[in-house]
Structure 1
């Protein structure tokens, strides 16, 4: 038993909130490895929250966006087509959207910025117009249609047009806090996909950043399964961060990204 075990019971599992550097986090990892050797599980998953001081926000050169507003069905389930002729046969990276985005209008959250389960990015017409009016660079705003082909006037698909940035160490990517996928099960040997998900803040190579307000990473996380595709991380500038705050765009979790 873990001394001073915190959290609350959720029936068969327990929800525990701990600082990453807490000694009990290491102990949970050790217990989970021991349980795994016995064919059982002790740890079932985690969600990482990071908090910043005003000074840290002020000093940041880039921010990464962790989507909270996620919905389905995604585009491919509504008639959007993808060309996978040039996709990596090992990880599925490189599939290209070959038609306009089709979505069920009733499924789109009534928010300024949302992601489908396949990470297609949908923004309100209000936000698209604001970004264009303020001269935000690095993105285009494409039409969104319903499954019958009717144009959805209230929505646009946000696509990134700037040069991608390169993820570099000490960024950590893995399956979970206690599994860095050392066997490479979810990593593409061609370097397209780094793993299932980010476990740390993001570090990117400074020379790869072209100064745009919206950029994406060259390397991807996730996996190809059904309608799901490996996905880049969406990044934006402090200038855009301030505008999103001014516009009161909700359901956004942002983290500081480091340029080195």
Structure 2
């Protein structure tokens, strides 16, 4: 019987994919911290908080595979090759990924490459960016009175215009968009063209759980302009749905008027 080395703490030559969560080191799982302390090779994303990297042994080989929009320092095939190379060399390799490895983290591709090469691999889940950032903003993605369904999409996927998102946002539904900052205006236009009301509440959660985090609310028709106006930068999550009204960012204007109601009135006047 072949022993499953991925579950053996004494095994050599293996890769551990760890979800680093949305940013705050306190949100790492106990299991993630324990395995980080075993790393001989640490291959990590570029947005990982330095305090998380410090949990690995000081003598561990650190390799950054930082990615930015339209510019990958190391392409995915190169990352796969690095994991395989160090795993076959008998090292305990920790692949540290922001959020959860299997939520827009390409963890599935890395697992496939490792299995094909015969390298033992295990996955330690992390709190996804959407869950961490929305919890910090007191914004429930589902709610008995407001939303019974939630969908996750990537705002930078190829063929954005051609993708059919109809039915993912609207009454009783919440849409969460990863990597949607640079395409915010296109996303708003796309959703409105597919039937989502221009006055649908929207939240943009920037740097969730990290120092300098911001939670901003607006309406779908104003999404692109707000991202530009507020100079939003990644990492940021866009949440679209009535649940946004429950956010801790539910600020009031002078006279107690809700900001979203104020924006809706402005939008109606402009129509």
Instruction: Give the structure-1-normalised TM-score.
Output: 0.22
Instruction: Give the structure-2-normalised TM-score.
Output: 0.22
Q: Which has the higher helix share?
A: 2
Larger Rg: 2
Q: Which has the higher strand share?
A: 1
